[in-house]
Chains A and B, each alone.
Chain A
Amino acid sequence: SAVISQKPSRDICQRGTSLTIQCQVDSQVTMMFWYRQQPGQSLTLIATANQGSEATYESGFVIDKFPISRPNLTFSTLTVSNMSPEDSSIYLCSVIRGLGGEKLFFGSGTQLSVL
Chain B
Amino acid sequence: AQKVTQAQTEISVVEKEDVTLDCVYETRDTTYYLFWYKQPPSGELVFLIRRNSFDEQNEISGRYSWNFQKSTSSFNFTITASQVVDSAVYFCALSEGAGNTDKLIFGTGTRLQVFP
Chain A interfacial positions (CB closer than 8 Å to B): 31, 33, 41-45, 48, 58, 90, 92, 94, 96, 100-109, 111
Contact = CB atoms under 8 A, between A and B. Distances in A.
Interface of B: 33, 35, 37, 42-45, 47, 50, 91, 93, 99-104, 106-109
9 contacts: A42-B106, A42-B107, A96-B100, A96-B102, A103-B101, A104-B35, A106-B44, A109-B44, A111-B43
Contacts of B44: 106-109
Among the interface residues A31, A41, A45, A104, which one has the most CB atoms of the partner chain B within 10 A? Answer: A104
Contacts of A101: 99-101
A108 B43 contact: yes
A43 B94 CA distance: 12
Among the interface residues B33, B44, B45, B93, which one has the most CB atoms of the partner chain A within 10 A? Answer: B45
Contacts of A94: 45
Identify the 9 closest CB pairs spanning chains A and B, nearest first: A106-B45, A42-B106, A43-B106, A108-B44, A42-B108, A102-B50, A109-B43, A103-B47, A104-B101
A102 B42 contact: no
A58 B108 CA distance: 18
Nearest to A105: B47
A102 B101 contact: yes
Tell me the interface secondary structure of chain A in the complex. strand
Given A42-B91, A42-B106, A42-B108, A92 B45 contact: yes
A108 B106 contact: no
A106 B108 CA distance: 17
B103 A45 contact: yes
Given A42-B106, A106-B37, 18 more contacts: A31-B102, A41-B108, A42-B91, A48-B102, A48-B103, A92-B45, A94-B45, A101-B100, A101-B101, A102-B33, A103-B47, A104-B35, A104-B104, A105-B45, A106-B44, A107-B44, A108-B42, A108-B44
Contact of A96 (B42, B101, B107, B108): B101
Contacts of A48: 102-103
